Amino acid sequence: MIPSQIGPWLRFLVENQMQERPSDPTRPIRVLLADDHVVVRKGIRDFLEADPALEVIAEAGDGVAAWRLIAQAAPDVAVLDIRMPELSGIELTKRIKAHYPQVRVLILSAYDDEPYILALLRAGADGYMLKTAQGDDLVRAVKQVNAGKSVLDPEIAAKVVATLTQPQPVEPLSERELEILRGVAKGRTNREIARDLAISDRTVQGHLANVFGKLHVASRTEMVTVALQRGLITLDDTAQ
């Protein structure tokens, strides 16, 4: 089952297209850089500003400073490292997307580890490039995420596709968890399920949390869909 937050990435990788946002050709793309290594920031800045269509308007050496600058400088694109002092690139991306969704986030990292990649995609990052990328590729990536496209480094793309298309193992559900799952499938509320099973609402919530974790889902609807796909319940179980 593909996590709902990452599904659009898989569609992008297959179809190679996303909805573009309008751009203003009369002004350069405003970029914020956040990386705790001064030398790395200078190299990135040199690459980006070699193209007149890009302008680096602010730099930060840690996540908290970058967060402040997002509000002050209003960049179009934030180019972030993952591991930074004070606030990681993952947490910073979550904040940006929650409070400034118009700001595009391009991750530029030395890490190609699967947990980092998936965490950033779930957080809402618009692109993920490795620091081994060529300067032209980096410039192109900034322009693409600014236009509303999603970008993955070629070395990352294969890993993402392999991960998202591989079914995740499901831990067996207990009999009580299956009972609660069937109740949800019938459209019953937590209170109704608790009444039917003679348990507390809190107990139902606890079991539901366990089922969500075991099935790798984030909503009741997704839970029922996955349960049907895996044969844990049948269509008869969904009849009200």
What is the average per-residue pLDDT within 23-41? 86
Q: Where is the domain boundary, 165, 195, 222?
A: 165
pTM score, whole prediction: 0.61
φ/ψ (deg, to 5) at 105: -120, 120
Range of the domain at 203: 175-238
Residues 151 and 223 in one domain: no
pLDDT of 5 strictly over 60:
no
**41 and 129 fall within a common domain:** yes
Residue 142 has pLDDT above 70, yes or no: yes
Residues 221 and 148 grouped into a single domain: no
Q: How confident is the model at residue 6 (pLDDT cuts 50, 70, 90)?
A: very low
Tens digits of per-residue pLDDT, 69-127? Answer: 999 999 999 999 988 888 889 899 999 999 999 999 999 988 877 777 777 877 888 88
Q: Which CATH number fits the domain that encloses residue 152?
A: 3.40.50.2300
User: Same domain, yes or no, for 207 and 225?
Assistant: yes
β strands within 61-185, DSSP E: 77-80, 104-109, 127-130, 151-152
In a domain, 185, yes or no: yes
Structural domains of the chain, count: 2
Instruction: Using the 3D structure, point to which of 115, 143, 165 is the last residue of a domain.
Output: 165
Question: Both 142 and 208 in a single domain?
Answer: no
Residue 211 maps to a domain: yes
> Which comes out higher in pLDDT, residue 217 or 103?
103
CA 58 to each of CA 9, 11, 51, 131: distance values in angstroms, whole numbers, following the listed order? 29, 33, 17, 19
